[in-house]
Structure formats: C-alpha cells, structure tokens
C-alpha cells in the first residue's frame, strides 16, 4: 500500500517520502480502515522539522495524526464497529475518558500516523464521524476539533450563550473554536495580521477582528470591540509570545485555554494578571475519546462544517506541508487519500 513517512532524523519537508508498505490486517479487537482523507496540523510541521518533543525522529514514522476512512474488516471481539462504518482515529491511543494521567502515545509521533491507504486502529481508539460531514471535513476533527471543544466546553466552566470568545488567527483550532462558540450562542472576536483573512473571519461570523500588527497592544482593541470589558474565554494558540496580552484581554472570571506555541518559546508567561480578575489558565493538549464523541454530537446537532482551505492529493503531500508552512491558509489543509 502507499504511505507517506517522515524519515528518521528529518529536519525539513525534504524528510517526507512516499513509500510502499505491507497492507496491515485487523487482529483481535481491531478494525482495518481504508483511509479516505487526512488533515495537517502545526504539530506536523514541528515533527518533520525535528522540533517536536524529543527532537528529530529516531525512526521512520507514517505521518499525520488526523484521518478518516471506512471500516473494511474487523477482528475477533470487535463490538463498537462494523464493516462500512465511517470512522476517525483518536489522537491518543488508550485515552478514553478522565484526566490525562495514563494516556497512550499519539498518532504521527511517537507511533505511526494515518497518511496511508490502510490503517489499523484498536476499536477503543476510534469514533464514528458525524453523519453530516464528508470524510475530508471530518478529517479536521481528531486534533483541532477536539482541542477546540476541550478549550471551550470542558476546561473550567463551559462557554454559555451571550458570552464572548477571543480566537487568535485563522488556523484549524481557531476556526473550529469560532464555529463551536457560535453554535453555543457566544460572540467571537478574532485576531489576524492579514486584512484579507480578517474579511474571511467576518464572513464566518466573527463580530469583530483586530489586526495585531497594526495594533501591537491588541488586547486594548479587543476590549474596545467587546464594549469596554474583557472577554470570557481566550483560545490561546500563540503561546509564550501572546499569553500576556491574552490575559490582559480577559474579563472577570474568564478563562484562558493555553494550547499552542505558534508565536515561539520567548515571551512573558507570568500568570499574575489572572489574580485580580479571578481568571483561570488551563493547559489543553487535545483531549480524550469522550470529548471527541461529545464534539461529534455537537457537530451533527448544529450542522457545523469545518472550514477546508485546500485539498491536495496523496502524491502532493510535500506541497501540502509547504502550503501549511506558508501560513497562507484559512482553515484546514487536507490530503485526499482515496
């Protein structure tokens, strides 16, 4: 079968290679999935560049954590799925519910990912994808979608109708957070450095946008856009470089969901600004299968459709990585596998 691997020691997209691998088979408690689509995350760029946790890969690994497909065979003892079901793998193995105290490894690093024509999942490490979504749309959910759901609806106090959420940028997590927040009845303010992207954010329903290059102290513009008060939740994908301003943009009793490292490792990470606001800071690292299943129900009930920026063919995988690296995207970059 065809697959794309990241070669051991890779430090750039040059480390990606299309290979032929033996087609796997489903063992006891496992399902064999013919993969249809996969999506890219910022994490995948870090892995191929050798900058993810642990540095460069020590062995070749099938790329990507997020993928969807159709069950074509089931092993002995499988009760959760049948042939023909449309499924997605969970980001983590063996992480069904509860706090992350004993989660298994994540797909794409340190174990093989989903960018292959066939993948085997343990039946406990997969979910049925939403009935209202295509394979390509649903491929946006395992990492970015679950992360956004965790940030908004699980960490701390769930977002409620009438509240305001701040999202940073136009990546997959931010746009899915925008859509989930809107479905919950919340208002969304978004930041960007690109006027064209700001227009797209408004078209997706953001009540206001703030250009963080034009306004270096962008938290002030966020507060102005929210009627002079801070927001109820910040989906913080920037990390150290943006955390200070995210805390400043927060309102009384609000929460910051700390997710990403897009702005790099340097910056003011002092959380003292949360004290007088009674604010909270929550570390978010994707989530468990129970969260994924909650997200699926919400996507179906509210007919949410993830924003797909561009679709590449499997043989165009290197180009897909380069496109994500260019930061030209608004929403998810997806690879069609079959």
Q: Is residue 151 part of a domain?
A: no
**263: pLDDT strictly greater than 60:** no
Alpha-carbon separation of residue 38 from 43, 139, 171, 230, 315 (angstroms): 14, 5, 16, 37, 13
Residue 28 confidence class, pLDDT cut points 50, 70, 90: very high
Query: What is the chain's mean pLDDT, rounded?
Result: 95
Residue for token pair 């919400």: 298
Do 124 and 206 belong together in one domain? no
Q: Is residue 56 part of a domain?
A: yes
Do 214 and 167 belong together in one domain? yes
What CATH number does residue 103 fall under? 3.90.180.10
Q: Please name the helix (run of DSSP H) or strand (run of DSSP E) that holds residue 332, with its range, or none.
A: strand 332-336
Among 283, 305, 321, the domain-final residue is 283
Answer whether 320's CB lies under 8 Å from 139's CB. no
Q: Is residue 163 part of a domain?
A: yes
Across 238-252, average pLDDT: 93
Q: Is residue 150 part of a domain?
A: no
Residue 265's pLDDT is: 62
Do 234 and 186 belong together in one domain? yes
Across 22-44, average pLDDT: 98
Across 46-81, b (16+ Cβ under 10 Å) vs e yields ebbbbebeeebbeebbbbbbbbbbbbebbbeebeeb
CA-CA distance, 203 to 27, in Å (whole number)?
47
Answer whether 167's CB lies under 8 Å from 178's CB. yes
Parent domain of 206: 156-283
| Beta-bridge partner residues of 255 | 233, 280
Do 111 and 215 belong together in one domain? no
CA-CA distance, 3 to 25, in Å (whole number)?
15
Across 245-250, average pLDDT: 97
Among 242, 265, 283, the domain-final residue is 283
Do 307 and 274 belong together in one domain? no
pLDDT in tens, 82-102: 999 999 999 999 999 998 876
| pTM (two decimals) | 0.96
Answer whether 135's CB lies under 8 Å from 86's CB. yes
Do 121 and 65 belong together in one domain? yes
In order, the DSSP letters of 199-233 are: HHHHHTT-SEEEETTT-SSHHHHHHHHTTTS-EEE
What CATH number does residue 197 fall under? 3.40.50.720
Question: What's the domain count of the chain?
Answer: 2
pLDDT in tens, 195-244: 999 999 999 999 999 999 999 999 999 999 999 999 999 999 988 889 99
Do 168 and 99 belong together in one domain? no
Q: Report the 10 Å Cβ neighbour count for 216.
A: 8
pLDDT in tens, 112-171: 999 999 999 999 999 999 999 999 999 999 999 999 999 999 999 999 999 999 999 999
Q: Is residue 6 part of a domain?
A: yes
């Amino acid at each position: 079968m065809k697959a794309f691997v990241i070669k051991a020691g890779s430090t750039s997209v040059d480390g990606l290679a299309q290979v032929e691998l033996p087609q796997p088979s489903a063992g006891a408690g496992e399902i064999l999935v013919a993969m249809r689509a996969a999506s890219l995350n910022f994490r995948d760029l870090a892995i191929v560049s050798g900058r993810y946790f642990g540095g460069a890969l020590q062995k070749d690994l099938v790329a990507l954590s997020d993928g969807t497909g159709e069950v074509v065979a089931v092993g002995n003892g499988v009760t959760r799925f049948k042939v023909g079901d449309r499924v997605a793998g969970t980001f983590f193995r063996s992480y069904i519910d509860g706090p992350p105290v004993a989660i298994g490894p994540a797909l794409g690093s340190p174990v093989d990912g989903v960018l292959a024509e066939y993948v085997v999942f343990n039946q406990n490490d997969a979910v049925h994808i939403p009935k209202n979504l295509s394979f390509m749309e649903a491929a946006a959910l395992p990492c970015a979608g679950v992360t956004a759901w965790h940030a908004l609806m699980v960490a701390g106090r769930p977002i409620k109708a009438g509240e305001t959420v701040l999202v940073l940028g136009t990546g997959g997590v931010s746009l899915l957070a925008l859509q989930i927040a809107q479905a919950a009845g919340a208002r969304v303010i978004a930041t960007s450095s690109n006027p064209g992207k700001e227009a797209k954010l408004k078209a997706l329903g953001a009540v206001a946008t703030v250009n963080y290059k034009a306004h270096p102290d962008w938290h002030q513009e966020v507060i102005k856009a929210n009627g002079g008060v801070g927001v109820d939740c910040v989906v913080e994908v920037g990390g150290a470089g943006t955390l200070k301003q995210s805390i400043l943009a927060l309102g009384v009793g609000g929460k910051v969901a700390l997710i990403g490292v897009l702005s790099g490792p340097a910056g003011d990470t002092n959380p003292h600004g949360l004290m007088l606001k009674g604010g909270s800071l929550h570390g978010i690292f994707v989530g468990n299968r129970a969260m994924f299943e909650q997200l699926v129900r919400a996507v179906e009930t509210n007919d949410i459709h993830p924003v797909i920026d561009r679709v590449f063919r499997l043989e165009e995988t290197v180009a897909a990585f380069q496109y994500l690296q260019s930061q030209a995207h608004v929403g998810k970059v997806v690879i069609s596998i079959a």
